[in-house]
Amino acid sequence: QRQTLLSAGLRRWAYKDTQAARKWFDTQSRQQGLTDKTLRERAGSRIAWYSTIRGVESNRQWLDNWLANHPDTSLVTQRARRTVIEQDWDALDEWVMRLPEEDRNDSRWLYWRARALESTDRPDQARELYQQAAQQRNFFAFLAADRLGEPYRFSEQEHRSSATFTPPPAITRIRMLRELNEPYLAHKEWMWLMWHSNKAQIADLADYALAQKWYDLSVQASIQAKAWNTLAWRFPPAYLSLFEEQAKPHGLDPWLSMAVARRESAFNPQARSPVGAMGLMQLMPATARKVAKDAEMGTPTSKTLQDKHTNIALGSRYLAELLDDFSDNRVLALAAYNAGPSRVNRWLENAEDGVPADVWIESIPFRETRDYVQAVLTYRALFVGMHDDQARSKQLLTSDENDELYSLSMLDQD
């Protein structure tokens, strides 16, 4: 029991004071009775975790020794990420190569290895890795393609519906429920249908839902079928006319607000998060009330926030306000949409010397927000390339977003 308590205390101490916890773990823990191998590893791993994500310089040598003797993929990933944040390009490859082969071959680490090579005057080797990264379809693959000046690879697949497809009886119930304004029950009926259909049937149902403009059901079917390359189902032009209508008064890019909605709710107007965010653009009620008050739209309710017209109107206005606050920088505005403007201000304050856009995005402390920014910008590029008849290149970051150094000075702009 004593050892269990010591280990638990150390894990808590690592959160409160990582440096002090590491010193005690090194010099006192065995003398105080913490000798069980499993409990020591549990405590040490927690100290290593906070040492890595916080960049505790005084713990660095201890951390690297710990990782050499206690290899752990999540910790090594964070240690490799730390080299990116610090732009320690000479050390990056060493840490990436300690990752499993599958992780090393992901576009994220191919891209960062290429960046390291490029930053250490090895452009030919860098280009080779950029080319490998650009074969995939995600944020880092598109960044790599932009570095090469090549178009993005969407790698989409078309689906041909079965000639014998006949909508099952459940479709009639779903249609009736949607017409009766019971989308929640319609969604449950759809999920029941998914669970009782094989993969080929789900594919035909996804096509059918898309044809009916049941966008949220089409996206859900693509997930159930694991049809990651059938982009027509995953990224339909949902409610495009509404997004365009609400974007126009604010000079907002409708594809950006549509990408936000796709990430936030998968185009489900009834979506509600565990913390209470609601509707297509997942607005918190307090935020929605403030935006509605400023726009003189009346006080929104839970019911009106699940109305697509109201939600898109308020969400588009809020996104436009954030873009205005952050000088039209979509990277910062999207981070603020997910994590709040005050956190983004603090993150910029921590980048006193200024860092490139890709490094700043990788350095966002919250994984959810990092993933969010990357996903929304990638989704926008997919929407534009699929539905707006624009080139499938140079859509990820604007020149200003890409060329500017991200730092405290960005907060001084009027």
Q: What is the pLDDT of residues 264-299, one digit of tens each?
A: 999 999 999 999 999 999 999 999 999 999 988 888
Instruction: Verify whether residue 349 is a known catalytic residue.
Output: no
Residues 259 and 402 grouped into a single domain: yes
- Predicted confidence at residue 176, as pLDDT, reads 96
Residues 175 and 288 grouped into a single domain: no
- Predicted confidence at residue 296, as pLDDT, reads 84
Domain that holds residue 50: 1-70
Residue 406 phi, psi (nearest 5):
-90, 120
Residues 347 and 296 grouped into a single domain: yes
Residues 192 and 274 grouped into a single domain: no
Residues 257 and 214 grouped into a single domain: no
* 195: CATH: 1.10.1240.20
Residues 177 and 282 grouped into a single domain: no
If DSSP codes are grouped into helix, strand and coil, which group holds residue 156? coil
Residue indicated by tokens 């459940």 = 170
Count of domains observed in the chain: 3
Residue 16 is given by DSSP the state H
Residues 281 and 343 grouped into a single domain: yes
- Predicted confidence at residue 297, as pLDDT, reads 87
DSSP H helices in 295-329: 302-305, 308-325
- Asked, for residue 109, whether it belongs to a domain, the answer is no
What number of helices (H) and strands (E) belong to the chain?
Answer: 25, 0
Interacting residues of 129 by C-beta distance below 8 A, sequence separation 6+: 110, 111, 113, 114, 117, 144
Residues 184 and 284 grouped into a single domain: no
Mark the ranges of the chain whose per-residue pLDDT is less than 70. Answer: 412-414
CA-CA distance, 291 to 322, in Å (whole number)? 11
- Asked, for residue 125, whether it belongs to a domain, the answer is no
Question: 48 and 67 in contact (C-beta within 8 Å)?
Answer: yes
- Predicted confidence at residue 46, as pLDDT, reads 97
Q: Which helix H or strand E contains 101, and what residues bound it?
A: helix 101-104
Interacting residues of 378 by C-beta distance below 8 A, sequence separation 6+: 138, 139, 142, 396
**Global pTM?**
0.94
- Predicted confidence at residue 414, as pLDDT, reads 47
- Asked, for residue 90, whether it belongs to a domain, the answer is no
Residue 353 phi, psi (nearest 5):
-85, -10
Residues 346 and 230 grouped into a single domain: no
Paired tokens of 264: 């936030």
Residues 223 and 253 grouped into a single domain: no
**CB-count exposure of residue 236 (10 Å: 0-12, 13-18, 19+):** buried
- Predicted confidence at residue 412, as pLDDT, reads 58
CA-CA distance, 225 to 184, in Å (whole number)? 21
What is the number of other CB atoms lying within 10 angstroms of the CB of residue 316?
Answer: 28
- How many degrees, rounded to 5, is the angle at CA 301 between CA 293 and CA 373? 75
- Predicted confidence at residue 298, as pLDDT, reads 84
Query: Which one of 264, 349, 362, 368 is the catalytic residue?
Result: 264
